[in-house]
Amino acid sequence: MAYKDNDKSDLIADYCNNRLDANEKADFEDLLRDDRELLDECRDFQGFQELYRRIDPAEPSPSGAIFDQITRKISAHQKVERKAPVQSSPPAKSIRSFWQRIRESIAVPWMLAAAQAVVIVLLLIPAPEQNTYTTLSSTEVAANAEKIGINVVFRPNAPESDIRSLLHSIQGSVSSGPSREGRYVVSIVSRSDLDKAVRTLKQSEIVLFAEPVN
């Protein structure tokens, strides 16, 4: 970004939600005209904001602080080099290479989330005696209503191995998703483990958002 010593990306949420005063807004718009990367981040945030506003009324609505949380974490992970991929079998390497090409050709986070969904389905193929991660229909979700749900948005470039490991650590599985904004529902068996599971997800670097299903 052009303003490395004075990063203004944290002002994106305030600008998009009309929380800047007139002078701050004018200064920020001057920055947008001069800094294309900052402008792209601002447009990405506005796209996320619009997608959340279009969520089906039947789905749980995220809190107002979610947009701030997402944009800050997206800005943070864009400044950190992506960790080296783990060794994998030839088919997994081919799929990972395909996913890398998708990431390089798509700059918008929610479009990456949609592409990520395809890769997750291909990569999360369980070995014998492992949990199966699949996208369920609404009928199947109803059949598993006794499980406890957590809304989760993964970082767009999160490695499959990290997602698998994180779900294993909370004894969870993907029961539905992704929705239009890239949100999954992760199910756990025991309500007594809900607070711990949500806390673990929120502390993970590959998770942008985690909140229990109401």
Task: Please state the pTM of the whole predicted model.
Answer: 0.35
Range ranked top by mean pLDDT from 6-15, 55-64, 71-80, 132-141: 6-15
Helix segments in 54-131, DSSP class H: 66-78, 90-105, 109-123
| Cα–Cα distance, 119 to 164 (Å, whole number) | 13
> Residue 64 above 90 pLDDT?
no
Q: What is the mean pLDDT of residues 119-139?
A: 48
Residue of higher predicted confidence among 63 and 18: 18
pLDDT at 121: 55
> Residue 29 above 80 pLDDT?
yes
User: What's the burial of 158, exposed, middle or buried (CB within 10 Å: 0-12/13-18/19+)?
Assistant: buried
Task: Judge if the upstream peptide bond of residue 62 is cis by omega within 30 degrees of 0.
Answer: no
As given in the structure block, the two tokens for residue 123 are: 């990569």
Q: What is the mean pLDDT of the chain?
A: 72
* Cβ neighbours, 10 Å, residue 36: 11
> Residue 60 above 80 pLDDT?
no
pLDDT at 153: 92
> Residue 6 above 70 pLDDT?
no
Domains of the chain, with CATH numbers? 9-78 (no CATH), 94-212 (3.30.70)
| Cα–Cα distance, 199 to 207 (Å, whole number) | 11
Q: Which one, of 3, 35, 28, 32, lies nearest residue 14 by Cα?
A: 28
Amino acid at 169: S
Question: How far apart, in Å, are the Cα atoms of 86 and each of 144, 162, 206?
Answer: 33, 10, 15
| pLDDT tens column, 165-175 | 999 999 999 88
Residue of higher predicted confidence among 112 and 207: 207
